[in-house]
Structure 1
């Protein structure tokens, strides 16, 4: 039975389990819509919400249902660092590794988020490797909290560590 037949039979459609952020023309608009939807469900102002980021430790095949709140985002790349899946934190990149695929991240709207710990690196996420943007459009999308691992967050700042939505310029 296809999706239209399910909808006609009275079943409700659910959102996709995983979202590929790079597929959106305006990913910031999509992320704002997710926050707005959460604000409506919780009956709070969107201005009181911010993101909590939970990096998945399981394979995407094990993510069978959408999260209760927020969205699962896949397809990001980490530049200037590697990712330790076991400890869920930043590590030095392997020799000659310019970028590494990032596991799926749960973007979860939360109200009145706690202060960011010093063990967290506020990792910028950009559309493209050219971070300055182009054609009158900024390249920055969102800052994602990642555990900085054995190194202080300043180490990753100096490395120029960032998440990229696309490896094409």
Structure 2
């Protein structure tokens, strides 16, 4: 509703509109608002079309057929994100909305669900900008993304890190994770995906990369294409990094 959206705009003004993280949040909320409006308009028009009040257009017929089959209507998918079924898509809509709502009306999360953002790369850039500003003499061009896998799961986190951000909700495919020794290990039999502990993402100035670490690509979805690529995180490994590249 419009009243709620105006409340959101007021709140964004009051929490410091020029902080990189808050600029990122505003862009995400605007995109979310577009998706919610689209869903609301489609469902409202669909009710009127079923009652015979308005004409059933091609778009509405497509939406009705998709909902009947449990698929995502094309217009919704285009404005949002990919998902295997309408049920999973709607669950993600609620979860994304919940994260934004808590962030804006309560406080910045201690731990972020990074794949619940429209633009996770923008999130990482905003984090790098904040760290660059906090360290005198650093330049954004020379600040590189660094990562550290913690021993904790999401529910163990009670405060944010001193620098950087905690993220959760990432899964490993093609490998397992040895939580005791904090390193990559072979996949367990019949386990396609393994949930990663919370990862701390931060930035450092001009650091040289440890060649023994495996630079693991992170994707928004299981379809691993350039469109879904977010960034790479460095993971400890006993085997040479090429071993994990071959494991996919």
TM bracket, shorter-chain basis:
0.7 to 0.9
Q: Looking at both structures, which has the greater relative contact order when contacts are Cα pairs under 8 Å and sequence separation is at least 6?
A: 1
User: Aligned pair 1:121/2:217, yes or no?
Assistant: no
When normalised by structure 2's length, the TM-score is 0.55
Rounded Cα–Cα distance in structure 1 between residues aligned with 2:156 and 2:132: 28
| SS at 1:128 equivalent | coil
Unmatched tracts of structure 1, length 5 or more: 8-12, 161-169
When normalised by structure 1's length, the TM-score is 0.79
- Report if aligned partners of 1:83, 1:89 keep a CA contact under 8 Å in 2: yes
Higher strand share: 1
Partner of 1:132: 225
Alignment coverage as a number of residue pairs = 144
Higher helix share: 2
Shift of 1:63: 2.1
- Report if aligned partners of 2:127, 2:202 keep a CA contact under 8 Å in 1: no
Rounded Cα–Cα distance in structure 1 between residues aligned with 2:209 and 2:109: 31
Rounded Cα–Cα distance in structure 2 between residues aligned with 1:14 and 1:45: 28
RMSD over aligned CA atoms reads 1.8
The partner residue of 1:41 within 108, 112, 134 is 134
- Would you identify which runs of 4 or more consecutive aligned residues in structure 1 move more than 4 Å? none
Rounded Cα–Cα distance in structure 2 between residues aligned with 1:91 and 1:115: 21
Higher CA-based Rg: 2
Rounded Cα–Cα distance in structure 2 between residues aligned with 1:62 and 1:139: 29
User: Aligned pair 1:141/2:230, yes or no?
Assistant: yes
Residue correspondence of structure 1 range 82-97 to structure 2 within 5 A: 82-97=176-191
